[in-house]
Amino acid sequence: MRSLSLIFIYVLIASVSIAQKTDFDKRLKELNIQLFEPAKPIANYVKAVRSGNLLFIAGHGPSKADGTYITGKVGKDLTVEQGYDAARQVGITILSTLKSEIGDLNKVKRIVKVLGMVNCTEGFVDQPKVINGFSDLMVAVFGEKGKHARSAVGMYALPMNISVEVELVVELEN
């Protein structure tokens, strides 16, 4: 019985050690995700504010490396699947900002809170399916650290007619 307890403790320590040594930049390469230089804010705000160990990331849209956005209303101009892809693109955009702000994604302790906003038609009810594009990416990159609390809501309109906007709160290591 004692040897089983020791084996359990060893496995537990080994799994924690492996989890702590995840290289998130390497993980991005494995997922074939390339980050890009974030664009400047389009109004009078900053892209991120740190308070203690929390980093609050301003709303980001689905911008691409070339500066263009995925636009249109989900349920009219875009399907749920295209909305999902747009939300995933927001994830790449936010990861680009996050890397720019903190320098090393390995400083991420956990993704804490997500507010996902979907530019959608009246009566559209699949906002959670759309925002899953963002959430699934955070879990693919950060594993358990990527699981988060979330709200997914519909909006009548978003700036520049972007299809999805996401705000994020991230906890950073000391």
* Domain extent listing, the chain: 23-172
Residues 78 and 59: their CA atoms lie apart, in Å, by: 20
Task: Using a pLDDT cut of 70, give the percent of the chain over it.
Answer: 88
Q: What is the pLDDT confidence band of residue 18, given thresholds at 50, 70 and 90?
A: very low
Could you tell me which of 166, 168, 148, 136 has the C-alpha nearest to residue 61?
166
- Look at residue 6 and tell me whether its pLDDT is greater than 50: no
Q: Does domain 23-172 have CATH number 3.30.1330.40?
A: yes
Could you tell me which of 48, 43, 59, 64 has the C-alpha nearest to residue 99?
48
Name the residue with higher pLDDT: 3 or 54.
54
Helices 127-142 + 80-102 axis angle, to 10: 40
Residues 56-110 have pLDDT tens digits of 999 999 999 898 999 999 999 999 999 999 999 999 999 999 999 999 999 999 9
